[in-house]
A = this chain, B = another copy of it.
Amino acid sequence: MADAIRHDKTARQLRLLSDALDSGRLGPVRRMVNTLAPAEIGNLLESLPPAQRSVVWGLVDAEDDGEVLLHVGDEVRESLIADMDTDELVAAVEDLDIDDLADLVEDLPDAVIEQVLVAMDRENRDRLEQVLSYDEDTAGRLMNPDVVTVRADTNVDVVLRYLRLRGELPDNTDHLYVVNRRHQLLGWVALQDLVTHDPGTPLNQLIDDELDSIHVDETAQEVARQFSDHDWVSAPVVDDGNVLLGRITVDDVLDIIREQAEHQALSAAGLDEDEDLFSPVPRAVRGRVVWLGINLCTAFLAASVIGQFEGTIEKIVALAVLMPIVAGIGGNAAVQVLTLMVRGLALGQVGGSNARILMWKEIRVALINGVLIGGLVGLIALAWFRDWELSLVIAAAMIINFSFAAFAGVLVPLLLKRMNVDPAVAGTVVVTAVTDVMGFLSFLGLATLFLLH
């Protein structure tokens, strides 16, 4: 951890920048900002309150503007775009790659889009339209149509001469794609093989035709899985007829994986992934109040269960003291099972075939944990209230609630997935509703049955 802090460059930069801004000397700020990569500038802008953000944004080199816009969340992006006039925006985005431009297009004012389209040549305009025709979060939307292709019936020397004529290659080009006349993908040749084989080597000796290509309709998540399973740097995207449409590179995949992880963490707390640290207060309120309202419904559901036992609580007030323990610890146990299931589902490791085995395993874990934790709670309750009957009731209620926690933890994510609801988002609310209701019901119910003499 000492290392983590020492190398926490962004935090250090932020402090330096903030000091420089406070002192009002913008020269050092400009110099500092423009030594950073665009993604780092984006990160820095996200960490500044709106007023400072606007000042720093004005100091960023115009040539980095487009790349910086790509590397910030939607809310911050909107605020940065609002600070720019049409000419600045056109200049910032017109040189971006097609896939990056497609990524930004929805946030740009119409006037800017029109001017960019007019400035493009016809080929690029067609490519942009093609990319935009695919759904967001599919391979088609992620791909860059700019690929380098060669024919099979040639040799290394000819290819090298072609590449020298062509000049610069697209970023992260590690393979050339081999296509036929109809632009169907036949295989690929690694740049590494081109530079390690004699000029006279026929190309078809170097072609790898066992490649897995990516179908244009594949989801971003599946694309990310394939990249990390196969250790790809880039991969070709094809349509139903195996025609090569473009390529996806690993830098985009890094972004996908990061965004998915963030999305899961934030949406599990009912937050919009684009909520910015410095979102305006009304916006932050709107973003969060819905989630709190949903949780309120489940809280009243649990309260209504307690309401059924008012008479019992009136007689034995210790029940009111202890009941949140039964519900709360049951919720913790359920969230543990849920978290394992959500990971298993995301990795495709849980299906109909092993769900029953998992359920049986979790029930056994729950019974043992229920006996251990329930027993401990029973002992503490005995020491506190000197009532061994109460103590038995709470231990029994905890064992029952642990079992429901295991059931809910396994079944709820499977059901949510079948209903096309993301278990990572909705799972916690549902399983804790189950453990709250069952916790109060079992504890107060058993107490009503056995403690009211």
Contacts and interface: CB of A to CB of B under 8 A. Distances in A.
Given A219-B4, A328-B299, A353-B15, A271 B336 contact: yes
Interface in A306-345: 306-307, 310, 313-314, 317-325, 327-329, 332-333, 335-336, 338-340, 342-344
A420 B1 contact: yes
A38 B271 CA distance: 36
Could you say how many copies of this chain the assembly holds?
2
A427 to B, nearest CB: 11
A296 B329 CA distance: 7
A114 interface: no
Given A314-B314, A354-B48, A257 B261 contact: yes
A196 interface: yes
A380 interface: yes
A78 interface: no
Given A320-B320, A372-B289, A373-B292, A354 B47 contact: yes
A273 to B, nearest CB: 9
Contact of A37 (B230, B250, B338): B230
Contacts of A289: 369, 372-373
Given A257-B261, A277-B350, A321-B303, A295 B332 contact: yes
B302 A324 contact: yes
Interface residues of A, number: 137
A171 interface: yes
A292 B369 contact: yes
B265 A342 contact: yes
A271 B339 contact: yes
A323 B300 CA distance: 11
A342 B268 CA distance: 13
Given A296-B373, A303-B325, A325-B303, A278 B361 contact: yes
A344 to B, nearest CB: 5
Contacts of A169: 192, 195-196
A195 B160 contact: yes
Nearest to A46: B349
Contacts of A365: 281, 284-285, 288
A320 B322 CA distance: 11
A282 B348 CA distance: 25
Contact of A47 (B278, B284, B293, B349): B349
Among A166, A168, A169, A196, find the residue whose CB has the most chain B CB atoms closer than 10 A.
A196
A436 interface: yes
A198 B420 contact: no
Interface stretch (A6-14, A124-132, A240-248): A6-14
A339 B266 CA distance: 6
A307 B396 CA distance: 21
Given A228-B255, A299-B329, A336-B270, A368 B281 contact: yes
